[in-house]
Structure 1
Amino acid sequence: MTITRRDFLNGTALTIAAGLAPTSVLRAAEAQGPAYPPALTGLRGNHPGTFTLAHSLAREGAKYPGVLARESYDLVVVGGGIGGLAAAWFYQQRFGGNARILILDNHDDFGGHAKRNEFTVRGRTLVTYGGSAEMPPSANDNAAVRALLAGLDLAPRIQARPGDDYARRGLGRAVFFDAEHFGRDQWLAGDPFAALVDARNAGVRPAPEDLGAFLNAAPLPPADRQALQRLAQGETDYLSGMAGEARARYAQSTRYAVFLREKAGLGLPGLRFLRSRSQDAYALDADGITVAQAISIGLPAGAGMAAPAIDPRLGKSPASRLWFPDGNATLARALASKLVPGVAAAQGQEIVGARFDYSKLDREGNPVRIRLNSTAIAIEPDVRITRVTYGWQGNLQRVEAAHVVVAGYDMMVPFILPSLPVPAKAALRACVKAPLVYTKVALDNWRAFDALKTWRIHAPTMAYSDLWLESAPGGKDDPVVLHMLYVPTVPDSGMSARERFRAGRAFLLGTPFEVLERDIRAQLDRMLAAGGFKSARDIQGITVNRWAHGYSYMPSGLAPDDANLQVALEQAGRGVGNIRIAGADTAGSPSVTAAIEQSMRAVGSLNPKT
């Protein structure tokens, strides 16, 4: 499922709800709120209906009629992710717990990217994350995060890494080479290159001799084996004679794939072996990140280069850790239960296991109401009030508010808030999110993995490039969740990150669940056949968390126009009147820390009500 230039050209022609009249678009976007969304399987994340209205505005230029306002609030929050929920909580802290707040979200569940997935296998409930999962190491040092955690009575309980549990059972890593890119299908136990990256991030000396034995068995030509071994040893200065300042500029402005090809001497097979090592952190392959970005997550670049130093803007990095079993969905659930008392049977640390009553999220008389399946299409500031129009239950609705915080996808803001200054619109339109897929597979057991003595597999050029078993509660005969990472890329294209993201997004939105499921089963059957795996027998459920708008855009040295983007985003975040723009996009960071911090800033800058 790696996409090509042709896919990109075809994808850009994809139109959602093309030719439909506005009333038809509203009906197409209508969704019925399920009783308990986390337990739904199939296509989740940006599920059907979430983007219909938004695409009608941004792609089709649809015009919707005005309607009369029926409700009024102190605050309307556009976006029910962690940023939006946190904005409502910070608003209560500043303006009082009786403030009337309406939170609008276009999905059938709250939490934004911080979604919770649940499976029931043989009477056991398996809980996992469907999106935003880990916390950066700097989270505890962030004032906004500390204030929020204290208010929610939550303390970080860092989870053990999945591999720790399996390592005690004798399981390790593995790499799967596919015939389409390496000449033959080959399974190799171990992944010493991953161990090398881990060692670099830990500041310890790796063991390159392990990599040498691995490479000698890999389906790679001798020249690439030697080049990879030399790169891993880290003793070659590939930029010899280049002064420090010029060296830094090179690292900040050169694609890692170009460096590997032109300086490290890797051929196409060697490049393919390293291509997807950066996808989990950046949602970009080696051709889409700079040398400096590669170094920051532990990838080697030879002698004379800076040591790995994790960029605090990253949402997921080698230093990030899982705080809760369902990832950052616990934060979203804790916020929802605090904002809407009675929606959950427990609060604080017990929120992880609490059952939620979604019918109580939007009840008349509650100070805070969370209205799902609601897409904002217009925000109109006036002298003292702001009017927000949104689609809900097949109709247009309008509310009035003293304050508005927009905590959704920044790129959509210019379409729903056209009164923004032109420079602000340009900055927000530049925030093209990275697409990615977190697929969760509920397995009846993990006997095949035990037979292969592996818990994590790297498949450099297959659709799902990284797969790993989540922590096992019991033995190999017990149910478990398999995490699968898919990032649609346009490899070796030289495209900008924004072009890649747009192509990947179009490809994802144009691929039905049936095709995604077929390819998931086919890849697992192919990779795990030697362990006796059979998808028809062993898979008990599949949830495809499709994030067409996933990681927030991070400014890069590969895009010269990004030099002043962060300053422009900070200015755009000021909004107009009593409207503020928040969310992780405005921080140029996919980190949950950034989302919370932006919400605190936005609420703190609002003018008092008049």
Structure 2
Amino acid sequence: MTITRRDFLNGAALSIAAGIAPAGLVGQARAQAAAAGYPPALTGLRGNHAGTFTLAHGLAREGTTYPTVLARESYDLVVVGGGISGLATAWFYRQKFGADRRILILDNHDDFGGHAKRNEFTVRGKTLVSYGGSAEMPPSATDSTAMRAMLAGVGIDIRTAPPPSQGDAYQRRGLGRAVFFDAEHFGRDQWLAGDPFADGIDARNAGGQPPTDAIAHFLDAAPLPPADRQALLRLAQGGVDYLADMIGADRTAYIQRTRYAVFLREKAGLGLPGVRFLRSRSHDAYALDADGISVAQAIAIGLPAGAGMPARVLDPRLGKSPASRLWFADGNATLARALIQALVPGVSTAPRGGAGLADARFDYARLDRDGSPVRVRLNSTAVAIEPDVRITRVTYGWQGNLQRVEAQHVVVAGYNMMVPFILPTLPAPAKATLRACVKAPVVYTKVALDDWRAFETLKAWRVHAPTMPYSDLWLEAPAGAAVDPANPVVLHMLYVPTVPDSGMSARERFRAGRAFLLGTPFDALEREIRAQLDRMLAPGGFASSKQVRAITLNRWAHGYSYMPGGLAPDDATLQAALEQAGRGVGNVRIAGADSAGSASVTGAVDTAWRAVDSLSRPAA
């Protein structure tokens, strides 16, 4: 199978559509939010925004050495990373050693929460709340002792059932799914109502089977060659054992070590158009396409693989899956807010617990105040950690200068691949393990729409575009009780930069996608967003110049944590090696989802608990 230049442009890079002017509202909104000191309301380029990686790239890429400065502060605990894992670390530490312990949390972003980022928009006087990264809870979240303790401790009732699916309100109005085929890959632009393959994924995750008549009807209208239509129908029906000639260990090995795209071509008989149709179904779960995941990983999220396959077993390390649920409108940012509320008195006047935090305004000026037992210092990048017998020194960049603090304990809960550079005394095997934690790039773009009349006209609330830059987009739950197409709404758009059908390893794909994302300016990305929306939604009367009120592009060049599968030679031993590396050195421990080999919020919390549990009581 060959890779066309257009495949690369659509899979690994965004093309720049000329002549489409930005809305001109982004800069104004950013300035207003910055003046108000409230990062969630910032629009434009978020996630790994400018300034978050400058010092780190200097250290890791250019070998920059930073001078030694005198320590000016001392703490019981310094946490490097203010995401869910770092905040949970501080919370567990206070539970274990007392609320009077002095803690400093450093984070290189301008907001707390890490990937659990909160996005806010104001459109026509209405506040729209969304999530910019870590969003959902896996079904196994409350199986974790650490997660249960933390949720209960910050006032979130885990017995409360998650809210309905984001699409429920739209489905009651007769809106469903749709697929958009683009001319570059399928011969013509075509909007096709329904998405029985997505319905099939949902059905398999619920323990059932999709109706085959809907699949056949859909394929009859799809711009696919007849041979691919038949092959896709056989695959979806699930009656063919494509591995009938394999038994026992051979069959198991094939499922675990063979790419899903290879299986689709060589066993299921799909041609290039058929593979392209299924190519990006795994983007949301793995940040990899069909050529980057194994057959076993495909089965785990409900993708079709025929008869005789092992039962679907959902991997609890997944951060997103068809079985995970969105508990809060701002995703896991509510967890971050609940932790901050518990750690920093007076930061919010909202009642304790999740429900009151949804509409709460946080006072960021209180995060780093003299005399507070817990201080959260944003825009601070750690560049050196030096363990000694009893005291560990941490050097970080902040406000244009280097600062140094001393602490009895240090927990690194940020991007684990940076740990070998800032903690050079870490044992060599641990360094090698952490360097293997190449994170997957992913973009969550949030578009504030003045209304959603075009979606009402098209009778679709969710669209899959197999080979376009943004492979999936959907309307988030409407704000308020009134479900009115004339009201503003947030549109979620998912982009995963991959190099389709290349045979590259996951790490190679992640590095290529990261380089692209960091090298592409926001205005180019915005033009492509508008171009894709105008092209796809034109039959519903959509025009970005009229409907789009703001865009927040959450760029995660270092997004999903690397999750050992079965395709890389070291995957079999990496999980155990990560646990060993988490023990750190001296009084330094390593936490975070990376060290769990998981993109799940559960992994972030579990490693925080593990890190604190291994620490001895600090000296008085």
Please say whether Structure 1 and Structure 2 have the same fold, judged by a TM-score greater than 0.5.
Answer: yes
Quick check: 1:500 aligned with 2:509? yes
Asked whether the equivalents of residues 2 and 488 of structure 1 are also in contact (C-alpha less than 8 Å), the reply is no
Asked whether the equivalents of residues 278 and 286 of structure 1 are also in contact (C-alpha less than 8 Å), the reply is yes
Asked whether the equivalents of residues 242 and 267 of structure 2 are also in contact (C-alpha less than 8 Å), the reply is yes
Shift of 1:159: 1.9
Q: Distance in 2 between matches of 1:560 and 1:68?
A: 44
For residues 154-193 of structure 1, the aligned pairs below 5 Å read: 154-156=156-158, 157=160, 158-193=162-197
Q: Distance in 2 between matches of 1:581 and 1:516?
A: 35
Quick check: 1:208 aligned with 2:186? no
Match of 1:96 in 2: 98
1:277 to 1:420, Cα distance in 2 relative to 1, 3 A: same
SS at match of 1:175: strand
Q: Distance in 2 between matches of 1:388 and 1:162?
A: 43
SS at match of 1:90: helix
Aligned with residue 531 of structure 2, among 522, 537, 545: 522
Shift of 1:201: 1.2
Gap regions ≥5 residues in structure 1: 10-31
Match of 1:425 in 2: 431
Quick check: 1:379 aligned with 2:379? no
Shift of 1:5: 9.5
Aligned with residue 322 of structure 1, among 308, 326, 333: 326
Shift of 1:162: 1.5
Asked whether the equivalents of residues 11 and 468 of structure 2 are also in contact (C-alpha less than 8 Å), the reply is no
Q: Distance in 2 between matches of 1:596 and 1:99?
A: 20
Gap regions ≥5 residues in structure 2: 14-33
Q: Distance in 1 between matches of 2:420 and 2:11?
A: 28
Asked whether the equivalents of residues 2 and 463 of structure 1 are also in contact (C-alpha less than 8 Å), the reply is no
Match of 1:364 in 2: 370
Corresponding letter in the other structure for 1:581: I
Match of 1:29 in 2: none
Q: Distance in 1 between matches of 2:258 and 2:313?
A: 18
Quick check: 1:268 aligned with 2:277? no
Q: Distance in 1 between matches of 2:574 and 2:266?
A: 30
1:39-73 CA distances to partner (integer Å, 9 max, x unpaired)?
00000001010000000001000011100000000
Shift of 1:6: 13
1:343-390 CA distances to partner (integer Å, 9 max, x unpaired)?
111132312211001011000000000000000000000111000000
Match of 2:19 in 1: none
Shift of 1:33: 9.2
SS at match of 2:86: helix
Match of 1:310 in 2: 314
Match of 2:449 in 1: 443
Match of 1:585 in 2: 594
Shift of 1:187: 0.4
Shift of 1:89: 0.3
Q: Distance in 2 between matches of 1:175 and 1:286?
A: 18
Match of 1:12 in 2: none
Match of 1:534 in 2: 543
Asked whether the equivalents of residues 178 and 194 of structure 2 are also in contact (C-alpha less than 8 Å), the reply is yes
Match of 1:601 in 2: 610
Asked whether the equivalents of residues 176 and 460 of structure 2 are also in contact (C-alpha less than 8 Å), the reply is yes
1:146-198 CA distances to partner (integer Å, 9 max, x unpaired)?
10011101124512112211110010000000001111100000001111111
For residues 404-483 of structure 1, the aligned pairs below 5 Å read: 404-473=410-479, 474-483=483-492
SS at match of 1:62: coil
Shift of 1:8: 7.9
Match of 1:28 in 2: none
Shift of 1:205: 2.3
Shift of 1:502: 0.3
Quick one: percent identity of the two aligned structures? 75
Match of 2:245 in 1: 241
Q: Distance in 2 between matches of 1:574 and 1:256?
A: 35
Corresponding letter in the other structure for 1:418: P
Q: Distance in 1 between matches of 2:241 and 2:326?
A: 36
1:116 to 1:2, Cα distance in 2 relative to 1, 3 A: farther
Quick check: 1:562 aligned with 2:602? no
Asked whether the equivalents of residues 442 and 542 of structure 1 are also in contact (C-alpha less than 8 Å), the reply is yes
Q: Distance in 1 between matches of 2:97 and 2:617?
A: 8
For residues 250-289 of structure 1, the aligned pairs below 5 Å read: 250-289=254-293
Asked whether the equivalents of residues 251 and 291 of structure 1 are also in contact (C-alpha less than 8 Å), the reply is yes
Asked whether the equivalents of residues 405 and 581 of structure 1 are also in contact (C-alpha less than 8 Å), the reply is yes
Match of 2:554 in 1: 545
TM-score by length of 2: 0.93
Corresponding letter in the other structure for 1:596: V
For residues 28-39 of structure 1, the aligned pairs below 5 Å read: 35-39=37-41
Q: Distance in 2 between matches of 1:94 and 1:36?
A: 32
Match of 1:80 in 2: 82
Shift of 1:90: 0.3
Quick check: 1:199 aligned with 2:203? yes
User: After TM superposition, which residue ranges in structure 1, 4 or more long, deviate above 3 angstroms?
Assistant: 1-9
For residues 40-79 of structure 1, the aligned pairs below 5 Å read: 40-79=42-81
Shift of 1:4: 3.3
Q: Distance in 2 between matches of 1:123 and 1:62?
A: 48
Count of aligned positions? 588
Q: Distance in 2 between matches of 1:238 and 1:252?
A: 15
Asked whether the equivalents of residues 193 and 211 of structure 1 are also in contact (C-alpha less than 8 Å), the reply is yes
Corresponding letter in the other structure for 2:510: F
1:388-414 CA distances to partner (integer Å, 9 max, x unpaired)?
000000000000000000000110000
Shift of 1:216: 1.0
Asked whether the equivalents of residues 464 and 471 of structure 2 are also in contact (C-alpha less than 8 Å), the reply is yes
1:471 to 1:500, Cα distance in 2 relative to 1, 3 A: same
SS at match of 2:358: helix
Shift of 1:472: 1.5
Match of 1:298 in 2: 302
Match of 1:128 in 2: 130
Shift of 1:608: 2.1
Quick check: 1:343 aligned with 2:352? no
Shift of 1:241: 2.1
1:91-130 CA distances to partner (integer Å, 9 max, x unpaired)?
0001100000000000000000000000000000000111
Quick check: 1:139 aligned with 2:141? yes
Q: Distance in 1 between matches of 2:248 and 2:300?
A: 17
Match of 2:230 in 1: 226
Asked whether the equivalents of residues 10 and 469 of structure 2 are also in contact (C-alpha less than 8 Å), the reply is no
Corresponding letter in the other structure for 1:255: R
